[in-house]
Structure formats: structure tokens, C-alpha cells
Amino acid sequence: MKATIYHNPRCSKSRAALTLLTEAGADVTVIEYLKTPPTRDELAALLKRANLTPREALRTGETEAKPLKDATEAAILDAMVNHPILIERPIVATTKGVIIARPPERVQEIL
């Protein structure tokens, strides 16, 4: 099975999800989203497939998230594209769906 992980190697949850994917035998494409962020359209499509709003995929603990408290979904999506650190991680996509792998064991849902 092919899988794509939007990965931050400094994040323990992201590393654990990647390990679970490789141990399951998935053919994994790793995208370090802080270095190669998704476009607005790509991120919107991922969130739609995950059945998540931008607000639900927002890392609210980040400094850049504070001004977004009352922002529209479109403004949050724009902020996530401009500041990819705001994207909750890791996002994993397969043909069976897209999830935020928190906890990492959630990857089993789409394998």
C-alpha cells in the first residue's frame, strides 16, 4: 500500500507514525511539510478528505495561532499555508483516507 506522510522529523508522534507505516510494509512518501509545505489547494483537499475543518487541524499552541482565535476557516487555511508550523502533524494519506495520526496508532485506520 502507498502512503504519504506530512512529517516533522523533530516530532515524536510523527516519527512514531512513520515507523508504524514502514513496519506495516507501506510504500511511504515522506514530505517534510515545514520544508515543502502543501499549497492551499493541496491542504484544502487533504482536510476535505480527512473530514476536518482548518480549525480542527490547527496547532493552537503555536504563537502564530493566537491571532486566529476568531478567524474564518479561510483565514486559518491561509495562515497554515503561510506558516506550516500551524498544521497539526502528522497527516497521513492513503487510498483508504486521510487522518491526523494523533495518536500515531491511528494510521492503522487507513492501512
What are the grid coordinates assigned to 82, written together? 503561510
Q: Is 36 left (phi over 0), alpha (psi -120 to 50) or beta?
A: beta
What contacts 67, CB < 8 A, 6 or more positions away? none
How would you list the strands of the sheet with 2-7, edge to edge? 27-32, 2-7, 91-94, 97-100
Q: Give phi and psi for 45, each to the nearest 5.
A: -65, -40
Q: Among all residues, which ones are annotated catalytic?
A: 11
